[in-house]
Amino acid sequence: MKTAEIMANLAAKHPGENEYLQAVQEVLESIEEVYNQHPEFEKAKIVERMVEPDRIFTFRVTWVDDKGEVQTNLGYRIQFNSAIGPYKGGLRFHKAVVPSMLKFLGFEQTFKNALTTLPMGGAKGGSDFDPVGKSNDEIMRFCQAFMQELWQCIGPDQDIPAGDVGVGGREIGFLYGMYKKLAREYNTGVLTGKGATWGGSILRPEATGFGALYFTQHLLQTAGKDIVGKKVALSGFGNVAWGAATKAKELGAKVVAISGPDGVCEIPDGITDEMIDYMLDMRASNRNKVEDMATKFPGKAIFTPGKKAWSIPCDIALPCAFQNELSEDDAKELQANGCWCCCEVSNMGCQPGAIHYFQNNGILFAPGKAVNAGGVATSGLEMTQNASHISWSAKEVDDKLHFIMQSIHEQCVKYGTQPDGHIDYVKGANIAGFMKVATAMLEQGII
Ligand code: GLU
């Protein structure tokens, strides 16, 4: 494979789309060796086809804010790859959303979904709508306007969106309500992350964080370590961080930091159940300020403005917020403060320099597409329940999630174990996902 040539072509076709190019580069670097052992992939130009989305929808979303002023945003849905199933992936509402961000996320999603063992292709969508400071009514009006365009692109056997940053259960409710009204289709399987009484799966809200901790447990066990009593620093306080904090505490770890765009809250005695519950209120408030935790729990949560979670001494770092949130300097600071493991929960949460630093300095590291796949896997379980008009108990869903995370870990070990015995989880996850998607593409001909 001519990685440099493919990257140069891609950069020329998608100028300035740095996040997208970064995600592709990371995958190509790690699959190169395996790819070269399969001339049939080269002949069918699998990589050249795989790095481009199947199609992109872009649309204008116009809505009226609480002051009566007309607002216009951009909406997108990127259907990236359908080799192993219908398009599947979340919607991100964030002011920084641009096509490059959604392309990187759709590309990652394709590999992640392949790892889940379930038949789901990759997609991503969203808008540059900024939920910060918006009222509930404004969120509803925006979601309805967004769905007025999106509904024509999606369907339960075609493309199934879900949540991501800025899109949780509330937004999925508003989106689903409008979908039904427009499409006159009452198939709940068109969106996942729904409410438990109208087709949602029990444990879907917790699934990304729970799955991440199950994966972390397997990784630690394989390395001969145990999570009990370990200090965990995590970033963010949204749905993913909430699930991760809940499961980390349940497994006996001590969550000593959470963070937000405004700074970090250190929690020296470990996060409590009340604090974990309060994370949900903080998200619902749309204020996007972690300082609120310190205001609510004075003396127990100590806020420092402008600092990241990576400045707090810990054993295990769990980035749970946004892409590129952990830099090489952060990686160095973490190690200097005693951290020896980083499981990336956010999509592409670590910058390439940070990943290389971890890998070259003996710090256990696993990438987001493996660690956070429990979220979309449980979306897949939600689709199965919807298609068969049943609903599983929490135990049934949790057992299946656990099994899937174990299987993802096994795939990483299978494809990532190096001649010297150490496990390269980045290679393992990328090669395992790639082999599945590439083989399916090959078998389906040149399309
Ligand atoms: N946004 C989540 C992810 O990055 C979940 C996607 C889904 O459930 O479809 O995997």
Decide: 218 and 373 in contact? Cβ < 8 Å. no
Find out whether the beta carbon of 168 lies less than 6 Å from any atom of ligand 1. no
Residue 64 has pLDDT above 90, yes or no: yes
Find out whether the beta carbon of 106 lies less than 6 Å from any atom of ligand 1. no
Decide: 366 and 412 in contact? Cβ < 8 Å. yes
* Nearest residue to 308 (alpha-carbon basis) of 341, 334, 285, 344: 334
Pocket residue to mutate for ligand 1, from 79, 107, 109, most atoms within 8 A of Cβ: 109
Closest ligand 1 atom, residue 347 Cα: 4
Residue 167 has pLDDT above 90, yes or no: yes
Residue 154 has pLDDT above 90, yes or no: yes
Find out whether the beta carbon of 369 lies less than 6 Å from any atom of ligand 1. no
Closest ligand 1 atom, residue 92 Cα: 1
Q: Where are the alpha helices (DSSP H) in 116-190?
A: 136-150, 169-183
Decide: 355 and 365 in contact? Cβ < 8 Å. yes
Residue 317 has pLDDT above 90, yes or no: yes
Q: pLDDT tens, 73-130? A: 999 999 999 999 999 999 999 999 999 999 999 999 999 999 999 999 999 999 999 9
Name the active-site residue from 88, 103, 112, 124: 124
Q: pLDDT tens, 173-231? A: 999 999 999 999 999 999 999 999 999 999 999 999 999 999 999 999 999 999 999 99
Residue 447 has pLDDT above 90, yes or no: yes
Q: What integer pLDDT is reported at residue 247 of this predicted model?
A: 98
Residue 1 has pLDDT above 80, yes or no: no
Find out whether the beta carbon of 200 lies less than 6 Å from any atom of ligand 1. no
**DSSP string covering 52-69, please?**
S-SEEEEEEEEEE-TTS-
Residues 373, 172: Cα–Cα separation, whole Å: 19
Find out whether the beta carbon of 86 lies less than 6 Å from any atom of ligand 1. no
Residue 26 has pLDDT above 90, yes or no: yes
Give me ligand 1 centre to Cα 55, in Å. 19
Residue 42 has pLDDT above 90, yes or no: yes
Q: What mean pLDDT do residues 284-301 have?
A: 96
Give me ligand 1 centre to Cα 117, in Å. 15
Find out whether the beta carbon of 379 lies less than 6 Å from any atom of ligand 1. yes
Backbone angles phi, psi at 265, to 5 degrees: -110, 115
Q: pLDDT tens, 227-263? A: 999 999 999 999 999 999 999 999 999 999 999 999 9
Within a 10 A sphere around the Cβ of 348, how many other Cβ atoms? Answer: 25
Residue 2 has pLDDT above 90, yes or no: no
Catalytic, 289? Answer no
